[in-house]
Amino acid sequence: MKNIFSKLKWFFVEEWKKYVPMLFLLISISFIALLPAKLLGLSIDTIISKQLTVKSLSLLVVGLILLPVTRYLLSMIYNYMMNYEGQKLTYKLRSNYLDHLFTMDSKFYETYKKGDLISRVTNDMDGMTTAATAMLESIIFNFTNIVFAILIMGLTISWELTLVSITIMPIGLTILNMVRYQKRKYTKIHREIYAEMTEKVLESVEGMRVVHAYVQEEEDLNKQYKAIERDIESWRYIVNYENWFNPLFEVIYGISYFLAFAYGTYLIIRQSITVGELITFVSYVGMLMNPIISMSTVFSQINNATISVDRYDEIMQATPEVHDESFSKPIIDFNRIDFKNVTFKYPFDKQPVIKNIDFSIELGQTIGVVGPTGSGKSTLIRQLLREFNVTGGNIFIDEIPIQEYKIEDVRNLVGYVPQEHMLFRKPVNENIMIGNPNARNEDLDKAVKIADFEKDIIYLTDGLKTMVGEAGSTLSGGQKQRLSIARALIKDPQILILDDSLSAVDATTEQNIVEHLKEFRQGKTNIIVAHRFSAIREADQIFVMEKGMITQRGTHSELLKQEGWYKNQYIQQITMK
């Protein structure tokens, strides 16, 4: 419990002016809930003693009417305030969570699966909100109910009867809750299994087109069923645990009830208490059942909330390896980039992907990068995005290490078009404007022109305002590539990186894009990773990557004079034509 509130302390401190009135409201509601039983006992004693008068009857009736009405009004105010605070906490937790996710680097997203991250912002978030609202309410309301009831029973009826009938409750419940605490580990396992199930469902939804294409519906469904069954089985274990465990609380309550009747009857015979007081007392014993059982379930809620808080906090405490320092410098342009003995290994790989890379790029140059599949081409150019820190060597921008610049500024220098094109379910023009939300219409038209997307507009239902299907499902492969290129171009970046982004277009379209880049991006740097040499033939420098190293470099004509991969591959491409 301490762990939960220490992690949510910031919210309670921030909202203490709301929580203090809610505390008083809750205590008042709890106290009022106990008064009808007291009035009932007084009524019975008044009737038995034959002292009932019109005045006393009127007072009793007014009291029995006013108490529930007052409780209703106070409850209405309290529920509104608590629901408001619950929604506010949920909003803040989710905002903080999402803000934090955007600060994390690529290593973080390789460590945590999408399903797990979604589970933490849904199920675990609900557990945390419950801890700060319903669970807090349950603790205060039920605790005050128990305390007020015992005080009224002891002070106004009989401490002797109270001790005899009530003492068994805390002793029995404490023992049972010590056993119940063991359920916590099973709840944690269930959360992990639920996250795996969510990941599988997401994977199936995202890959539905591939599943259909290869007629794998049955096999994929079977995998989903297994994931769902595993989730249900883990939850069934927890439910079964509760099924045999919860009735034990009622057994304890039944013993307490029996003691109250038996010893209460004895006290009536001794004339230590009245019949009305015994009925009031037994009513309070009955009223204690729900608060005590609720308090016992709080232990289960605490277990669940603790797991939720820990899982949420695990993400919030994660720190990116790639981050700004207090001394990080701003940068808006550059003249030269130098890779000096750069080596890089992905966090979970055993061997480096690129090794001992040395080259320089001058502002305004067009660089071509070619090589066999898996040679490290994409990994090489992505070092300019600062997704990871290099493993060895360093990258310099104008003779200053890249890590000394602000990450956002470095990334603003680059317009990156990846191999996998992520498009959103929004109009074509809005997908392009993601690259520069403040762009003018002229900028949009220019980006569309350079990407050679103009000829496609007439085939779109609503032109640039045509809604793009989920993940670009309504567009062809070439259209998706060119739309992604337009998104990068509207940013008008100092460095444009096309990472095999012309593979799905025909030769004429490719030539148009290359010519447009030469015309509209003079004085700016272009880096083109390609398999077809026609895209990089006029580049100022061409790097040939093989097994993570640059094995050849030069212009197109220079490389054709050298024996090696470039010449051999070029001859093959010419022959295939």
Residue ranges per structural domain of the chain: 2-317, 336-576
Distance, CA of 449 to chain centre: 38
**Pseudo-torsion of CA 432, 436, 437, 442, nearest 10°?**
-70
Q: In this model, does residue 281 exceed pLDDT 90?
A: no
Q: With b meaning 16 or more CB within 10 Å and e meaning fewer, what string describes 448-460?
A: bbbbbbeebeeeb
Mean pLDDT on 26-31: 88
User: Among 210-219, 257-266, 432-441, which is the least confidently predicted range?
Assistant: 210-219
3-class SS string, 419-448: CCCCCCCCEHHHHHHCCCCCCCHHHHHHHH
Residues 379-437: pLDDT tens digits? Answer: 999 999 998 889 999 999 999 999 999 999 999 999 999 887 788 888 989 999 999 99
Distance CA 239, CA 296 (A): 16
Tell me how far apart the terminal alpha carbons of the chain are, to the nearest angstrom: 72
Mean pLDDT on 354-361: 94
Q: Are 472 and 494 in contact (CB under 8 A)?
A: no
Give the pLDDT score at 37: 79
Q: Are 405 and 397 in contact (CB under 8 A)?
A: yes
The two structure tokens encoding residue 132: 């700060």
Distance CA 258, CA 462 (A): 78
Residues 460-503: pLDDT tens digits? Answer: 888 889 888 877 777 888 888 889 999 999 999 999 999 988 88
User: Among 58-62, 211-215, 428-432, 513-517, which is the least confidently predicted range?
Assistant: 211-215
- State how beta strands 541-546 and 366-370 pair: parallel
pLDDT band at residue 1 under the 50/70/90 scheme: low
CATH number of 2-317: 1.20.1560.10
Tell me which range, 122-126, 262-266, 564-568, is most confidently predicted by mean pLDDT. 564-568
Angstrom distances, CA of residue 306 to CA of 130, 240, 313, 491, 547: 11, 21, 10, 45, 48
Structure-model confidence comparison of residues 139 and 353, the more confident one: 353
Give the pLDDT score at 415: 92
Place of tokens 């001859």: 571
Residues 92-115: pLDDT tens digits? Answer: 998 999 899 988 888 888 888 887
Distance CA 132, CA 11 (A): 9
Helix (H, G, I), strand (E, B) or coil at 161: helix
Distance CA 570, CA 142 (A): 80
Mean pLDDT on 257-285: 85
DSSP state of 156: I
Angstrom distances, CA of residue 453 to CA of 435, 502, 516: 16, 13, 12
Mean pLDDT on 430-450: 91
Q: In this model, does residue 181 exceed pLDDT 70?
A: no
Q: In this model, does residue 522 exceed pLDDT 80?
A: yes
Structure-model confidence comparison of residues 169 and 402, the more confident one: 402
Give the pLDDT score at 214: 62
Give the pLDDT score at 243: 66
User: Among 81-95, 332-346, 387-401, which is the least confidently predicted range?
Assistant: 81-95
CATH number of 336-576: 3.40.50.300
Q: Which helix (H) or strand (E) holds 192?
A: helix 183-206
The two structure tokens encoding residue 189: 């396992």
Give the pLDDT score at 86: 86
Left (φ > 0), alpha (ψ -120 to 50) or beta: where does 359 sit? beta
Share of the chain above pLDDT 90, in %: 27
Angstrom distances, CA of residue 188 to CA of 27, 301, 308, 361: 34, 13, 9, 51
Structure-model confidence comparison of residues 276 and 135, the more confident one: 276
User: Among 160-169, 255-264, 283-292, 418-427, which is the least confidently predicted range?
Assistant: 283-292
Distance CA 481, CA 452 (A): 11
Give the pLDDT score at 495: 94
Strand order in the sheet with 525-529: 414-417, 495-499, 525-529, 366-370, 541-546, 549-554
Distance CA 334, CA 398 (A): 6
Q: In this model, does residue 577 exceed pLDDT 60?
A: no
Question: Which residues, 6 or more positions from 159, have their beta carbon under 8 angstroms from its beta carbon?
Answer: none
Threshold 0.75, pTM exceeds:
no
Residues 546-559: pLDDT tens digits? Answer: 999 999 999 999 99
Whole-number average pLDDT of the chain? 84
pLDDT band at residue 174 under the 50/70/90 scheme: low
Give the pLDDT score at 212: 62
Give the pLDDT score at 226: 82
SS3 content of the chain, % helix, strand, coil (to 5): 65, 10, 25
Q: In this model, does residue 544 exceed pLDDT 90?
A: yes
Distance CA 70, CA 115 (A): 47
Mean pLDDT on 186-200: 75
Structure-model confidence comparison of residues 540 and 177, the more confident one: 540
The two structure tokens encoding residue 480: 């998706």
**Shortest CA distance to 381 belongs to which of 472, 496, 240?**
496
User: Among 212-216, 261-265, 308-312, 323-327, which is the least confidently predicted range?
Assistant: 212-216
Give the pLDDT score at 384: 93
